[in-house]
Structure 1
Amino acid sequence: MRPIIAEIGLVLYPDCQLSAIYGLTDLFRIAGDMAQSVDGDRSPAIRVSHWHQENGEIVCVQDSHPDPDHALTHIITPPSLILPDHMRPMPEFAGWMTDLHGKGATLCSVCAGAFLLAETGLLQGREATTHWAFAQTLASRFPAVQIDADRMLIDDGDIITAGGILAWTDLGLTLVERLLGPSVMLNTARFLLIDPPGRTQQPYGRFIPRLTHGDAAILAVQHWLQATDAKVHGVPDMARRAGLEERTFLRRFRKATGLRPTEYAQQVRIAKAREALELTRRPVEQIAWQVGYDDPSAFRKLFQRVTGLAPHAYRQRFGVAARQDAGSTEAA
């Protein structure tokens, strides 16, 4: 029996897009087959389950690895076949997802699935994306969500949102890379004849926080740091947030996450800076200030230590704007 690396739950809410449900199911199976072709039965497998509401309860109706015991690590809300204006509130699903997020599950949405994800309240103060045609409706219904409909996928660690109706392929490949590695992701994309997500081809790893360690007090601090971009990251503040004495907090945080609290906060902030360098032309000094560093020189040193590249070199290599500029030069 191959080891299960993750269980991904797909939400079968009313009028959801079944092509996304079954497309993701197939994508994860193909990715598992790709991994097995290289490493055999030592390779990990992704368990995929489908969840439906019956009589007020959320129940599993399909399972790639049938077992009454579930350990959901990811939840995906797919696109809808009806316009968001006609989507009814789904408090049972929202409550179920909130509970799982509190236990360490990563929540994901595609297109109009962001409306169900937003019902949890966990998108408040965070960036999220959805289909461009639904952005205004999402903003009016959930004004605390920072919506960026120009982006196809926003990976915020414990919450991932994808934009277009077919962006389930971007989300699926992003999760495959996270769980099975970039080589399996690229082989899966080639087999399916779909483009890999632009950022997933970068040779430098992303900060992937540990969220399934089971320490609820530390998990609450992790969610708080992610939601606030780690702007406030003093150990006393974190310890108070966790309700722990500082020495106990430091020990438990390191055990749960593998990092000291200040290192963890730095990773969160550098991840935000990397995103800004990739997607904007804002000056490095401005980005440094926006992610919480008053000294641009200190920011540059830290950025290079974390990513292996200076901010300017990182932008030249991976920035969307830099590639656009290069394309314009070649066309001329």
Structure 2
Amino acid sequence: MTGADRIEVGLVLYPGAQLAAVLGMTDFLLLAGRIAAEATDHRQAPALRVSHWQLHEGEAAPRRVFDTAPDEAGAPSVLILPPRLGPLIEPAEAAPFVGWLRESHGTGTVLGSICTGAFLLGETGLLAGRSITTHWTFEEAFEARFPEAKMDAARLIIDDGDIITAGGVMAWTDLVLKLIDRYLGLVVMLEVARRFLVDPPGREQSYYSAFAPRLNHGDGAILKVQHWLQATGAKEADLAALAARAGLEERTFLRRFQKATGLTTTEYAQRIRVSRARELLQSGACTADQVAWDVGYSDPGAFRKVFAKIVGLTPAEYRKRFQARSPHLL
């Protein structure tokens, strides 16, 4: 198996990073990889690679200092910024990591943070218009420092596709289970939670996988459009505008977009909107019609049809199953 075939989760050991979170996530991920291999034909099991990244004095970028596949090349699928112990990271401390994180994200790596790790993530400038979370006690400090981001400290996990953030210090358990669910599936995630005697992430525990777009396809023009669609909630998905943003002729753009993502632009936008709708239905008090408007549908009937096609449940059924206390809203 080559490095390109593996799912690599990289944990970043920036100054002050909480080692308990790094080591705990490592244990969860290693167990998840073993369970996945045990449950299926080993040759077909999704392979998981775990690495730790650290910046050494005099070096331009962090490098792997721990690696479960040290003989393989390749870039990480995900880079996670753990909580920081002590004072919040300052811009000068964050500066050596910013270019590396931005470059990694630009080539398809998902970026994630836990608790105060969000402050290092904020320094990348990638959070403008994005919904993120951190520990509620740091909400005001984060908003003052990064006013362009959409802080929602009431939520434990915000999975925005290519950027995923978690709230408190111990939310690393929720985030790592979320990643296991995304890359190895619900069954593996639940078994890891059972063996470690921890509760699965409540809101994310469903029978339906969250939308995990392909980001490591290597087509920079298409990746640029994907990041824009994610940041805007895909509310504006006009073909001409998307092609212009990619700098491509429309027919060329459509062909390359489907080749890179496996979806048409319409299907891709629908999945982003439905993913956001699921979050609103689970955690909010909006009616289905209000949710439809919030995610960009002017016709609630059309929204219901798309939602049922993708999720397998109507909005009413979905809320009843995952937010049973508010069935009257629908």
Distance 1:311 1:35 in 2: 32
Spell out, residue by residue over 1:239-272, the C-alpha distance to the aligned partner (whole angstroms, 9 max, x if none): 0000000000000001111111111111111111
1:313 and 2:317 correspond:
yes
Aligned pairs for 1:134-213 within 5 A? 134-213=138-217
2: CA distance, partners of 1:200 / 1:153: 8
The Cα shift of 1:45 comes to 2.6
Amino acid at match of 1:169: T
- In structure 2, C-alpha distance between the alignment counterparts of 1:2 and 1:59, rounded to whole Å: 19
Alignment-derived partner of residue 23 in structure 2:
22
Map of 1:255 onto structure 2: 259
The answer (yes or no) to whether the contact 1:235–1:262 under 8 Å persists in 2 is no
- Residue 60 in 1 paired to residue 64 in 2? yes
Q: Which residue of 2 is the match for residue 38 of structure 1? A: 39
Q: CA deviation at 1:67?
A: 2.5
1:230–1:268 contact (8 Å) kept in structure 2: yes
Q: 1:48 aligns with which of 47, 50, 53?
A: 50
Q: What corresponds to 1:12 in structure 2?
A: 13
Q: 1:85 to 1:212 in 2, by over 3 A?
A: closer
Residues 274, 297 of structure 1: alpha-carbon distance in 2 compared, 3 angstrom cutoff: same
Superposed displacement of residue 44, structure 1: 2.9
Report % sequence identity: 52
Taking the aligned partners of 2:9 and 2:247, their CA distance within structure 1 comes to: 31
**What amino acid does structure 2 have at the position aligned with 1:10?**
L
1:265-284 aligned at under 5 Å gives the runs: 265-284=269-288
Structure 2 stretches of 5 or more lacking a match? none
2:80 corresponds to: 76
Is the 2:280–2:291 Cα contact (8 Å) retained in structure 1? yes
Q: 1:2–1:44: 8 Å Cα contact kept in structure 2? A: no
Do structure 1's residue 290 and structure 2's residue 272 form an aligned pair? no
* Match of residue 224 from structure 1: 228
The answer to which of 85-94 and 174-183 deviates more is 85-94
Whether the aligned pair in 2 keeps the contact of 1:129 and 1:151 (CA below 8 Å) is: yes
SS in 1 for 2:112: strand
Task: Output the amino acid matched with 2:252.
Answer: T
Q: What root-mean-square deviation, in Å, do the aligned CA atoms of Structure 1 and Structure 2 show?
A: 1.9
When residues 193 and 157 of structure 1 are mapped into structure 2, their CA distance, relative to the original with a 3 A threshold, is same
User: What does the per-residue CA deviation read over 1:66-90, in whole Å, with 9 as the maximum and x for residues that have no partner?
Assistant: 1262321100000011132768541
Superposed CA offset, 1:172-216 (max 9, x none): 111111111111111111111111111343112221111111111
Asked if 2 retains the 8 angstrom alpha-carbon contact of 1:230 and 1:269, the reply is yes
Whole-Å Cα distance in 1 between the matches of residues 46 and 211 of structure 2?
Answer: 21
Residue 41 of structure 1 and its aligned partner are, at CA, apart by 2.7
**One-letter identity of the residue aligned with 1:128:** I
Residue 304 of structure 2 is matched in structure 1 by 300
Deviation at 1:322, TM superposition (A): 3.5
Is the contact made by 1:157 and 1:209 (CA closer than 8 Å) also made in structure 2? Answer: yes
TM-score (normalised: structure 1): 0.93
Q: May I ask how many residue pairs the two structures share in their alignment?
A: 324
TM-score, length-scaled by structure 2:
0.93
Gap regions ≥5 residues in structure 1: 326-332
